[in-house]
Structure 1
Amino acid sequence: MTPPSSPSSRVAPLAWLALVAAALWGVLWWWQLGRPVALPEAPSSRIACVSYAPFRKPGETPLNIRAYVSPERIDADLRALSQRFDCVRTYSQGFGLNAVPDIAQRYGMKVLMGIWIGRDPVMNDKEIKSGIATIKAHPDVLRGVVVGNEVLLRGEQTPSAMAQYVTEVRDAVRDTHVPITYADVWEFWQRYPEMAKVVDFITIHILPYWEDAPVEPAYAVQHVADVYAHMKAEFPGRTVMIGETGWPSQGKQRRAAAASLVNEARYMREFLRYAGSVDMPYNVIETFDQPWKREQEGTVGGYWGIFDVDAQPKFSMQGPVIEEPRWLLGWWAGVLGAVLFVLAAVWRREWRSRRARVALVLSGFACGAALAWQFRQMWFACRDVVEWAVSGTLCVLALLTTIALARWVAARLCGGPVRAMPSPRARFAWMFVLTLYGLLLVFDGRYRDFPLGLFWPPALGYFVAAMLDAGRTWLPSAEERFMACLMPLLAAVTVVQDVGLNPASWSWLGANLMLGGAALIAWRRTVRLGTHEPQAAYQ
């Protein structure tokens, strides 16, 4: 241990500025989540048609071929839905959903009935036979029948095979006069216009969030209007229906297309205003949030519902909308973090000074607010006990690491002894995990969230500590120096992938620059001071 020394007059203010900025960010970020946002009001809370899939409870998924939804459950759902929707769209005849037309008729609802087509010809034949029987039993309640949903998009059938399936159903129920269609994203109707010859009307999906060039909420409805007009012109004289449109309330932002509750409410309200101004059949996606979709599409897949998993409306069609009504919990988490950081440093004399305590309070509040942010993301993203356990463990490790760094920083800011920086193994581990996740984001990042609340506290902690280090207590290994260069490059790629429009990707770049920069600052000082052998990563 070296004698006490104070950090330079040039570095200490930068360290204080970083701590104040981090704490202020925690205050402002949570505050803005709780502000009511004024939005255009929908002309009515009633909606013409909505996609209905009842798989919203834990463990329920149509990926389980033995899944079954009882008629009593469907009856309860449709009884409630009939108060706001004129029609429901289904996607399959399986799982008990072939009972929907009969039950919907009791409540004066229409059905856009689905027949699921996939890869398995045996299952396809079973769906078609069941669908034909349902059509013949309830022709009056059917607004139309959708034979296959995004099958060409998924590449599970060829256009000729799909045309044969559609024609088979159409010929079998011709005497019922129920119109038959196929549904796919609008680009695939352009790619395979021959499909229009075998359907009675054209059903297109327009999801601005999922476009190859995602459309931000401010222009999303105009994009829908433009695409719809274009498709009407491309298929003159044909009825074109929007079979799916909507916006997710949670999940990863794509370029400027942010998944949020406010944006979902805005999109739905503006779309309903647009739909009411034109003569256009439409169906919105979807009735309920469906947790099972997170397995296929990440967090965002589970949050397209107008209602949550408890069948409660997620937002109103009139009045302002609040993104997070429980926003004060973020502040309380910050206060709890500040108390915890101070209590973790009461037994040493150098941590009892006013400067040290202020540094600990700022660090603790920022860390608590950030981990609350991460917990909120986990609340929406974690699918099972394993994911909760892994994410929770990482959050605890981030807290412990940041406490250790905050104590070291507080001691330096009040002129305490120059001790070795804490936890070299933890430092290496954080760099490794950040590098690994960066690789996943670059090469398999379509559905992955940015875990900013998890990585920012230790990243900022190591960066501030590196600024205050005298140059002898952190000697980065060759592996750490390599990761310090690689991490920002990977993060920069995520910024480029979102063409610079995603604030989360910039924040991710900031966290990588902080942790990588900390190692490079320490290495530069090591070289300047003439230290010959860096510490091994495992020391």
Structure 2
Amino acid sequence: MAAGIAQANAHPHTDTRVVVGNEVLLRRDLSPADLIKDIDYVKARVKQPVAYADVASFWFEFPQVAKHVDIVMIHLLPYWQNRPVNVDDAIARIGRTIAKTEALFPGKRISVGETGWPSRGRWRGDAAPSRVNEAVFLRKFVTLADRDHVDYNLIEAFDQNWKYHDEGIAGANWGIWNAERAPKFPLTGPVIEMPHWPLYAGIAIILAAGLAIIGRASKFGAIALAFGLGNALAYAGAITWHVLYDDALIVCALVNLPAQAALAWFAVRRAVIGAALPAAAGAETIGLLRGTLAGRFPWRTAAARRFDHVWFGFLFTAAIVQAFLVFDPRYRDAPFAIFAVPVVVALWRLATRDLPAVRDWRDWLPSAAIAAGALASILISGLLNTEFLIWNGLGLILAAPGLIGWLRSPKAATPAKSNQL
């Protein structure tokens, strides 16, 4: 506080207001009484108007704070509210909140200390982060603020990648400019969600043609599979490229994208020459992983059934990711890019009845975990969350080959014999 007071007094024409406390009541850092003491202490020592900044609901809960400030500074972040809504409803809610604040604190200057919308990240209810939605939100909010003569700060000028660790992908994408200081969209005129889509479409065509030609796909089914896998690979790369915020994410991408490319290649070859017999089971894949960790590297002996091993690896990973989406979902995105190729492969397996081998619980458990997690995630995310409805539907598709294979396996079809005394 001493440094802030000195700064304000040294530059009275530059520092036009002093904010004492930022979301102190929200975080329970101070009691209202202690916060008021600090506000009064600073206000007696500066000439600028003094404000306190917090989420609007805490101003309504502790209205006594307003008597001690010149400016009531409210934070309006509809994306993070407990009941998130879409952009249009968010603007309407902001208008009502500003009107309520003005009515509750007549004669006080009202300022919006924080507002904005993320351009990328997890859907929360009907609140969808996107470049288009961020542009629409900012334009509509500025129009509303000008109409109501309310000053404001937009959150924020630039994307801040470091926020990924605290608030997920959404937290890193609130800027009007990206982290490289390039504008994300024009301030007027039309906005395209993916302005570089022709490049991605071209890459998808090249990848699809490469898989079909190198894989010697001649029949319609194999060519169609190569087309779907090429598009899935291009999509996975395009989405992943924009979220490489730290070394850990880069390492994950260096593992995931080549693994998806390998699965795509193995799937095309499987469609052309057929499946290896007998098919590998989950226990064999786990044994290979154990041998690799022990330094034995037994993968050459498993070359004929590598499709089965990579497929099981993706199922196992998807089961873990789906569990996180159920038990710790707030800052986690729907993992479309991570499992783009496996989802296409699952659709192909269902269409061709190419079901995985199911010999014991290790074969069906990952699929069952994915399906159970998808159903639970639908309940958690709600029916308004289109993004997670789509992802969880794809999760059920990803789990379907294993579950159908289990239901059709001899052990599942044969009832257990009971012991009689």
TM-score with structure 2 setting the length: 0.85
The amino acid of 1:479's aligned partner reads R
Counterpart CA distance in 2 for 1:418 and 1:476 is 14
Mapped partners of 2:202, 2:375: distance in 1: 33
Q: Do residues 447 (structure 1) and 317 (structure 2) align?
A: no
Cα 1:467–1:262, aligned 2, differ >3 Å: closer, same or farther?
closer
CA contact (8 A) 2:177 2:183 kept: yes
Q: 1:497 is matched with which residue?
A: 380
Q: 1:324 to 1:129 in 2, by over 3 A?
A: same
1:369 pairs with 224, 227, 231, which one?
231
Q: Identical aligned pairs, as a percentage?
A: 32
SS at match of 1:181: strand
Give 1:142's aligned residue: 15
Q: Which residue of 1 aligns with 2:410?
A: 527
1:169, distance to aligned residue in structure 2 (A):
0.9
1:297 maps onto 2:159 in alignment: no
1:359 to 221, 225, 228: 221
Q: Deviations over 1:388-426 (max 9, x none)?
A: 1212311211221232123323456xxx99774743333
Cα shift readout 1:37-57 (whole Å, capped 9, x = no counterpart): xxxxxxxxxxxxxxxxxxxxx
- Indicate the SS of the match to 1:453: coil
Equivalent residue letter for 1:130: A
Which residues in structure 2 correspond to 1:278-427 (within 5 Å)? Answer: 278-346=148-216, 351=217, 354-355=218-219, 358-411=220-273, 420=279, 422=305, 423-427=307-311
1:477 maps onto 2:347 in alignment: no
Cα pair 1:431 1:480 within 8 Å, conserved: no
- Aligned partners of 2:191 and 2:174: how far apart in 1? 17
Counterpart residue number, 1:244: 114
- What is aligned with 1:168? 41
Q: Structure 1 pair 338/312, CA: closer, same or farther in 2 (3 Å)?
A: closer
Secondary structure class of the residue paired with 1:142? coil
Q: In the superposition, relative to structure 1, how do residues 529 and 445 fare at CA in structure 2: closer, same or farther (>3 Å)?
A: closer
d(CA) in 1 for partners of 2:40 and 2:413? 80
For 2:352, give the aligned amino acid. Answer: L
* Code of the aligned partner of 2:80: W
Q: Deviations over 1:272-295 (max 9, x none)?
A: 211221222222222222222222
Gaps of 5+ in 1: 1-127, 533-539
In structure 2, distance between residues paired with 1:530 and 1:258: 44
| SS, match of residue 378 in structure 2 | helix
Q: 1:154 to 1:343 in 2, by over 3 A?
A: farther
Asked whether the equivalents of residues 441 and 448 of structure 1 are also in contact (C-alpha less than 8 Å), the reply is yes
Out of 385, 389, 397, the position equivalent to 1:506 is 389
Partner Cα separation in structure 1 for residue 354 and residue 376 of structure 2? 33
Which amino acid is 2:314 matched to?
A: W
| Residue 129 of structure 1: how far off its partner (Å) | 1.1
Pairing of 1:97-116 with structure 2 (within 5 A): none
CA-based RMSD of the aligned residues comes to 2.6
Deviation at 1:152, TM superposition (A): 2.2
* Counterpart Cα distance in 2 of 1:135 and 1:475: 72
Deviation of residue 469 (structure 1)? Answer: 4.1
Is 1:158 the equivalent of 2:20?
no
Name the amino acid aligned to 1:435.
Answer: A
Conserved 8 A contact 2:325-2:377: yes
How far off its partner does 1:184 sit?
A: 0.8
Normalising by structure 1, what TM-score?
Answer: 0.67
Q: Of 33, 47, 50, which aligns to 1:180? A: 50
Distance 1:150 1:498, change over 3 A: same
Is it true that 1:205 corresponds to 2:88 in the alignment?
Answer: no
The offset of 1:505, in angstroms, is 0.7
Q: What per-residue deviation string (whole Å, max 9, x for no partner) do you get for residues 330-388 of structure 1?
A: 21222122123224423xxxx5xx32xx3333223322322333333323322223311
**Structure 1: which amino acid aligns with 2:324?**
L
Aligned mates of 2:412, 2:57 — CA distance in 1: 62
Higher relative contact order (CA 8 A, sep 6+): 1
Kept in 1: contact 2:118–2:174 (CA 8 A): yes
Q: Match of 2:253, as an amino acid?
A: S
Letter in 1 for 2:199: L
CA contact under 8 A between 2:240 and 2:337: conserved in structure 1?
Answer: no
Aligned partners of 2:45, 2:413: CA distance in 1, in Å? 86
Find the aligned partners of 1:387 and 1:476 in 2 and give their Cα distance. 35
Preserved contact between residue 294 and residue 301 of structure 1 (Cα < 8 Å): yes
Decide whether aligned partners of structure 1 residues 343 and 531 sit closer, same or farther in structure 2, where only a CA change above 3 A counts. Answer: farther
> CA–CA distance in 2 between the matches of 1:266 and 1:529?
53
Structure 2 Cα separation of the partners of residues 499 and 172 of structure 1? 51
Q: Does 1:464 align with 2:337?
A: no
Query: Contact 1:418 / 1:470 at 8 angstroms: preserved in 2?
Result: no
**CA deviation digits over 1:106-160, x for unaligned, max 9?**
xxxxxxxxxxxxxxxxxxxxxx111101111122333311112112222333323
SS at match of 1:172: coil
Q: Hey, what's the Cα distance between the residues in 2 that align with 1:329 and 1:215?
A: 33
1:310 deviates by: 3.2
